[in-house]
Structure 1
Amino acid sequence: MHIHAHNPALRRAAFKASRGMTLIEILVVLAIIGLIVGGVSVMAFGQLEKAQLKNTGSEVIQIQSHCQMYMMQQQNKCPTSMSDLKAAGITSRVKKDAWGNDYVIMCPGEHDRCDVKSWGPDGADGTEDDIKSWEAPGADSGAEDAKK
């Protein structure tokens, strides 16, 4: 037999110790979990945006290269859109940037035989976040410049 079974004070203490967590304690734990999840989400979103900028910059350079291949195949005729590149068999699909917008192909370009750009995260032409083939050094893609 247990010692505290006959002592009412010990029985009350044992009952209080075994009854579980209060509503306030549960709410505090949920609040802490919410703060942790929120912090992780903010960090993950920042990494996602950097990845989108870098990927779009790489694609701008790749599309510019595809445009030059198109011009060699078509006796210097300029492509006007990704559809032209697909129709010529240079690319397998019509690509869009990370934000779902069409890439802009300018041919002849002002900076090269063919210039390519994405309007960037805001989707507006001529803003600071545009990603341009003529400002993108290789795979680094000028995405960092667009971010500034």
Structure 2
Amino acid sequence: MSQTTNKQQQRRRSRRGMTLIEIMVVITILGLIAAAVGVAVIPQLEAARRDRASLDIKNIQSALKLYYTKKGKYPDTATGLNGLVEVQALEALPKDPWNNDYVYLNEGGKPVIISYGADGTAGGEGNDADISSADTGSAHK
């Protein structure tokens, strides 16, 4: 009988599952992995947002060229990017990756498109730095 009782005890132990310490070790390991991934991914996410803003600005510049072809001039600052939607050069006004509107200025016949970066205000450094069409190339040639 002792062999039968011993086998039953072994079966019960094997079905018990994980101990609290084993669960804590697994959770700690998963936390370390998540932290390592977060450290690697977050800077790439911000770089991707800045790249997207630059691409959006280039697309707006292309729409400005189409507007210029149709109207013979660039929209004034008061009309802004809404003029591009009116002539169907753009379907809708895009938002920058931080969900702010792009700023349009017509400086003496030279259009400038600006995203104010993550902080949404002029100036700044790093992720808060402005992204401008003056930096990515001119809309007119």
Given the two structures, how large is their TM-score scaled by the length of structure 1?
0.73
Are 1:51 and 2:48 matched, yes or no?
A: yes
The match for 2:96 is 97
Sort the Cα spacing of 1:21 and 1:71 in 2 relative to 1 into closer, same or farther, 3 A: same
Could you list the structure 1 runs, at least 4 aligned residues long, displaced by more than 4 angstroms after superposition: none
The match for 2:3 is 5
Unpaired stretches in structure 2, ≥5 consecutive residues: none
Deviation per CA, 1:104-139, whole angstroms, max 9, x where unpaired?
A: 111136xx721111001121112231001111259x
Number of paired residues?
132
Unpaired stretches in structure 1, ≥5 consecutive residues: 139-148
DSSP 3-state at the match of 1:114: strand
Contact 1:70 1:79 in 2 (8 A): no
Contact 1:107 1:114 in 2 (8 A): yes
Match of 1:38 among 30, 35, 40: 35
Distance in 2 (alpha carbons) for counterparts of 1:11 and 1:69: 82
1:42 Cα deviation from its structure 2 partner: 3.2
DSSP 3-state at the match of 1:115: strand
Contact 1:82 1:95 in 2 (8 A): no
Match of 1:61 among 31, 34, 58: 58
Contact 2:103 2:115 in 1 (8 A): yes
DSSP 3-state at the match of 2:28: helix
What is the aligned-residue identity percentage?
34
The match for 2:24 is 27
